[in-house]
Amino acid sequence: MIPVLLIVIPLLSGLAAFFLKGEKGVKTWALLSTVITLAVSLLGLTVLNKAANLHTEVEWLPLLGSKFSVGLDGMGQVLCLLTAVAFPMIFVATWNSSYKNAHNFYAFMLLSQAGLMGVFLAYDALLFYFFWELALIPAYFLCSQWGGEKRIAVTFKFFIYTFIGSLLMLVGIIYLYLHTPDQSFALESFYKAVLTSKEQGWIFWLFFIAFAIKMPVFPFHTWQPDTYEQSPTAVTMVLSGVMVKMGLFGVLRWLAPVLPMATWLNGDTVALLCVIGMIYASLIAMQQDDLKRLIAYSSIAHMGLMCMAIFVTSDQGLQGVMIQMFNHGINIIGMWIVVELIERQMHTRKISELGGLAQKAPGLAIMLVVVALANVALPLTNAFIGEFLLFSGVFNSTVSKVGYVFAAAGGVTIILSAVYTLNMIQRVFFGNTNTLTGAMRDIKFNERFVLGVLVIVILVIGVYPRPFLELTQGSVDTILSRMIIKHPS
C-alpha cells in the first residue's frame, strides 16, 4: 500500500496539474500533493512500518514475465524519504518565483517525483527501466522549456548522454532476462541468472556506463555543469539533490549484487576513475566565478567519493554511502536555495560581483555557513558521519590492495573542498558591500522556514545518526552477502 501511494499521489497530481489554471492555484496544488506524499512516507517509516504495508506485487505484463513489484527496504526508505522531503522544500523555497505556463512546469515536476519514487521502489527490472525513463523525460522538458539562454544546446547534450545510457542499460536488462532460469524480470531471478565471468564483464559495463552518466563519474560527467547552470534552480535542486542518486542506487540494487564477480574484478578501475574525477572536479571548482558551476563541480567530487566506496566494498563504506546519499541531497539543496535567493535579488551569480551580503542579510549568512560547513563535513554536521564512514571503509577495505591510496587521494579533495567553499563564503558574504549588494534584503519567512528545517536535519543527523544507520543495515548486509557469496576464490 505505502509504495503504491508514493507513486500514485504525485503521478495523478501531476497529470491533473496540466489542466489547472492560475499560477497560485497550481502552486498550492503541487505543494499540497508533495506534503501528502511526505506524510505517507513518514507513515511508512513509523506506524505502518510492517512488511504487509511495504511490498506490493500484482501482474503487469505476464507474457513478458514482468510484474508490478514495488517494495521498501531500508535503502529504499531512505531515498524515498529524501525524495518526499526535497519536493515540498523546493516548492516552498521557490514560492516567489514565477514560471511561464506554470501548470505545465509543476505538472512535469510532480511526474518527475513519481518517476523517482518508482525507481527507488521497483523490484522488477522492466518496471525499474520504465520509471527510470519516467523520471528523466520530465527533466528533459523542464530544462528545455524553462532553462537559460543556452538551454536547447545543453538539453540536447543531456538527452544524448541519458539516451545512450538508457539504451545500454536496456540491452543489459534484456540479456540478463534471457539468462534467468524462469524468464523473469524479477530482482530475485536476476540474482539467479547463469552467466560466465566473460559475460558478466561486458554486461557490467553496459549497466555501469548508464549509472555513471547519471551520478556522474569521470569521464561521463561533462553534461552536468552545463545542465545545472542552464536549468531553473528548482530543477537543478531535483537533478543534484535527488536524481543523481538514481545512479548510486542502480549500482547498489541492480549491478553489484547481480554481477558480483565483475564488480570485484573492475572495482579498482572504477575507483581510479572516481579519484580522477574527484581531484579534477575539485580543481575546476576552485577556478569558478559562477556559484552554480562551483556547486556543480563540488557535487561531482562528493558523488565520486560515494561511488568509490561502493566498489572498494566494506560494511563501513556501504553504510557511509547509504547515509551520505541522504545527507548530500539535504546539503546541496540547501546550497541551491541560497543561490536561488541571491540570484533572484541580485540578478547575478558571479562571485566577483558580490560581497558583504552578511551585513544586509545576516539570517541568510548564518544559514549558508551551517549548510556550507556541512557540505565540507565539519564535525557535528550530517556529512561528517557519512564521510567518516566512507573514508574508514575505503581505507580498511579488504577488497582493494590500494584502498589506503584511494582514501588518501579522497582526503586531498576534502581539503580542496574546504578551500573553495570557505573562499566562496568569504567573497560573497563578507567584506564590504558594493552598489549592487547594498540593496540586498534578508530572507522572508518561507525562505527562513525551509532553510531552518534543513539546518535542523543537518544538526540532528550529525549528533544522532543511529536511526539512519539501523534502518539501512539490513540493505548493507544483503548487498555484501550477495557479493561475498560469489567472490572468486
Number of domains composing the chain: 2
Q: DSSP characters for 416-471? A: HHHHHHHHHHHHHHSS---TTGGG-----HHHHHHHHHHHHHHHHHHH--HHHHHH
Q: DSSP characters for 284-300? A: HHHT--BHHHHHHHHHH
Closest CA to 44 of 82, 83, 6, 87: 6
Same domain, 44 and 22: yes
Cα 37-343-354 angle, rounded to 5 deg: 140
Among 211, 228, 258, residue at a domain's last position = 258
Q: Are 118 and 70 in contact (CB under 8 A)?
A: yes
Closest CA to 109 of 246, 232, 293: 232
Tell me the CB-side half-sphere exposure of residue 97, using CA atoms within 13 A: 24
Cα Rg for the chain, rounded, in angstroms? 21
Cα–Cα dist 250/247, whole Å: 5
**Residue 259: what are its φ and ψ, rounded to 5°?**
-120, 65
Same domain, 1 and 85: yes
Going residue by residue through the chain (489 aa), what tens digit of pLDDT does each one get?
899 999 999 999 999 999 998 889 999 999 999 999 999 999 988 888 888 889 999 998 888 889 999 999 999 999 999 999 999 999 999 988 888 899 999 999 999 999 999 999 999 999 999 999 999 999 989 998 998 888 888 888 888 898 899 999 999 999 999 999 999 999 999 999 888 888 999 999 999 999 999 888 988 888 888 888 888 889 999 999 999 999 999 999 999 999 998 998 899 999 999 999 999 999 999 999 999 899 989 988 999 999 999 988 788 899 999 999 999 999 999 999 998 889 888 888 899 998 888 888 888 899 888 999 898 888 999 999 999 999 898 888 877 788 889 989 888 998 999 999 999 999 998 888 888 888 888 888 888 899 999 999 999 999 999 998 999 999 999 998 888 644 444
Same domain, 101 and 170: yes
Same domain, 243 and 325: no
Helix (H, G, I), strand (E, B) or coil at 104: helix
Helix (H, G, I), strand (E, B) or coil at 192: coil
**Residue 62: what are its φ and ψ, rounded to 5°?**
-60, -30
C-alpha cell at position 355:
560581497
Same domain, 150 and 210: yes
**Number of residues written out for the chain:** 489
For residue 188, give its domain range: 1-258
Among 189, 224, 258, residue at a domain's last position = 258
Handedness of CA 156, 160, 162, 166 (dihedral sign): positive
Which residues, in sequence order, are bridge partners of residue 290?
350
Same domain, 178 and 311: no
The pairing of beta strand 55-61 with beta strand 66-71? antiparallel
Cα 254-257-263 angle, rounded to 5 deg: 95
Among 231, 258, 285, residue at a domain's last position = 258
**Residue 39: what are its φ and ψ, rounded to 5°?**
-60, -40
**Residue 219: what are its φ and ψ, rounded to 5°?**
-100, 30
State the pLDDT at residue 153: 87
Residue matched to cell numbers 547575478 = 348
pTM: 0.93
Same domain, 168 and 147: yes
Same domain, 218 and 270: no
Same domain, 326 and 232: no
Same domain, 282 and 237: no
State the pLDDT at residue 399: 79
State the pLDDT at residue 35: 97
Same domain, 300 and 436: yes
Same domain, 400 and 427: yes
